[in-house]
Amino acid sequence: MPEKRILIVTSELVPFHYGGIGTQFKSLAAFFKRHGHQVSLLTRKPENYDEALYRSHYGEVPLSFVERSPVQTGLPQHFVYAEEVAKRFDEIYPGIRPDLVIFADFNAEGLFLLLRSGAGAYDSTVFLLTINGMNHEVISVREGERERTSPSLFDLPHIKTLLAMEDLCVHLAPWIVSPTVSAWEEIRQRLGIRKTALMIPNLVDLDLFRPEETEMHDEPQELRVDEKNPAGYRFPLRAEIRENPIESLILFVGRLDRMKGADLLLKAYFEIADQMDIAIPRIVFIGRDCYWNEYGSTFLEFWKTRIPEKYIGAISFLEQVSHDQIRNYFKKATVAVFPSRWEPFGIVCLEALSMGCPVVVSRGTGLEEVLGPALSEFAVSVTEDIRPLAQRILSLLHAAPHFSSEKLRERSRELVRQAEKGWLDLLRDIEDKNQMIRSVSELKR
């Protein structure tokens, strides 16, 4: 296959911002580069940007920053940013002339590029939209169905504009990649379109998650709930990952928001601990604190006074940590739980599988597709009734000493193989289409 020039447009740049989009695009950049393609990035400059740190993650991948325009009153922020992306793209376009431009659906930063492309600009460039989770679905889940303590985000004018921009991107994009069938079908049915998308699982860099190379070092500072401390959950302690094989460890990795189901796991943990009584397991939550509409506060602010005193010493909260630190926890965890109310894919679940860590995930979400039929036993219906979730976790805690992790690792390798093949096939399809366009153009001459 001829060498391709590929530009990835992203508002998330690892390691300055950890999120599903940034993690996926970092893996994509490394993959394309390994296969001999030219890769460059277009992003907003992180406030904590460090050139040496960037190079340690991306090597010599060229990076261009979106220039911030003067404040334009009356225009929604995301509209202005999409315009800034298009302006910066026009500035760098003559120097790179990408064959392929990739950007995410979330926040619609590629909208003006799609509009211009549809009008005939950039005739040698293919624009591709990846499905990572649109704001319509995200807001629906985060707001929940209970009585709100504040106006709905759907009623805000700038949110209405953003949702319309994201939907328009889906209508305009000539190429769409979705990591799971469920993620695409939800969008397709909501928009009432017959459009098709390519199903390619999200990539993950398995080199970061090799259990045999994991060492226990640089352990993060842990935030434990401690009502004796005036700051509550912000009492810093060293994160102890003990070597005692008898002690069980339940792990949650994700934002502490409603979508990720952190509350469901915490409630399930209370039931598990009650049943196990003496030898209760430890539970560690890794992820940044988030505001909850139904609480009228953040997750930790709400729960810091509601956790029974007898469990305080066993429950720990961490902020967002690096991949190197997360894999240490995956190695020691008895089970990792991802009880999302909604999830397009779940890269962190794929990472857990690659470490051979048993998981429990929500049935009916993209997480279930990550497991596949062979691992369907690890999917459970996750609702406000947390008993099925608690029982599934309990069964894994009891089975852990006899559990073989190779089946989990093989599933992670299988998904990565599918993803790599899918992207290589897509590049070949784009090349075939471009050759056909060039042939038609020559005939017209």
CATH of the domain at 143: 3.40.50.2000
| Furthest-apart CA atoms within the chain: distance in Å | 82
State residue 229's pLDDT score.
38
Decide: residue 94, CB within 10 A, 0-12 exposed, 13-18 middle, 19+ buried: exposed
H-only helix segments in 304-405: 323-332, 347-354, 366-371, 387-399
Q: What distance in Å separates the CA atoms of residue 395 and residue 244, rounded to the nearest whole number?
A: 20
How many alpha carbons fall within 13 Å on the CB side of residue 384? 3
For residues 296 and 262, the answer to whether their CB atoms sit within 8 Å is no
Q: Are residues 193 and 271 in the same domain?
A: no
What residue type is assigned to position 68 of the chain? Answer: R
| pLDDT above 80 for 148 | no
Q: Are residues 173 and 195 in the same domain?
A: yes
Q: What distance in Å separates the CA atoms of residue 445 and residue 442, rounded to the nearest whole number?
A: 5
Q: Are residues 111 and 175 in the same domain?
A: yes
Q: Are residues 159 and 214 in the same domain?
A: no
Q: What distance in Å separates the CA atoms of residue 250 and residue 267, rounded to the nearest whole number?
A: 13
For residues 58 and 25, the answer to whether their CB atoms sit within 8 Å is no
User: Residue written as tokens 């759907």?
Assistant: 154
**What is the number of structural domains in the chain?**
2
357 located within any domain: yes
Three-class HEC string of 208-246: HHCHHHCCCCCCCEEEECCCCCCCHHHEEEECCCCCCCC
275 located within any domain: yes
Can you give the residue range of the structural domain that contains 264?
206-410
Better-scored residue on pLDDT, 389 or 304? 389
| Last-in-domain residue among 159, 174, 199 | 199
Average pLDDT value for residue range 130-157 = 82
436 located within any domain: no
| Last-in-domain residue among 199, 231, 261 | 199
| pLDDT above 80 for 243 | no
State residue 204's pLDDT score.
84
424 located within any domain: no
Q: Are residues 242 and 389 in the same domain?
A: yes
Better-scored residue on pLDDT, 221 or 376? 376
User: Residue written as tokens 């093989």?
Assistant: 410
38 located within any domain: yes
Q: Are residues 178 and 210 in the same domain?
A: no
Q: Are residues 113 and 244 in the same domain?
A: no
112 located within any domain: yes
Q: Are residues 174 and 210 in the same domain?
A: no
Q: Are residues 154 and 244 in the same domain?
A: no
441 located within any domain: no
Structural tokens at position 299: 């997750």
Confidence category of residue 401, pLDDT binned at 50, 70, 90:
low
Structural tokens at position 10: 């992203």
Question: Which residues in 111-141 are b (16+ Cβ under 10 Å) and which e?
Answer: bbbbeebeeeebeebbbbbbbbbbbbbbbbb
Better-scored residue on pLDDT, 172 or 19? 172
| pLDDT above 50 for 245 | no
State residue 220's pLDDT score.
46
| Last-in-domain residue among 133, 168, 199 | 199
Structural tokens at position 374: 């062979």
298 located within any domain: yes
H-only helix segments in 71-156: 77-96, 111-118, 135-143
Better-scored residue on pLDDT, 356 or 240? 356
What residue type is assigned to position 396 of the chain? Answer: L
Average pLDDT value for residue range 237-257 = 68
What residue type is assigned to position 81 of the chain? Answer: Y
Q: Are residues 128 and 213 in the same domain?
A: no
What residue type is assigned to position 249 of the chain? Answer: L
| pLDDT above 70 for 283 | yes
| Pick from 51-65, 141-155, 311-325, 386-400: least confident | 141-155
3-state secondary structure of 253: strand
Give per-residue pLDDT as tens, 201-220: 999 877 766 656 544 444 44
Better-scored residue on pLDDT, 229 or 415? 415
Q: Are residues 364 and 254 in the same domain?
A: yes
State residue 442's pLDDT score.
59
User: Residue written as tokens 């939209």?
Assistant: 129
pTM, whole model, 2 decimals?
A: 0.88
Q: Are residues 23 and 110 in the same domain?
A: yes
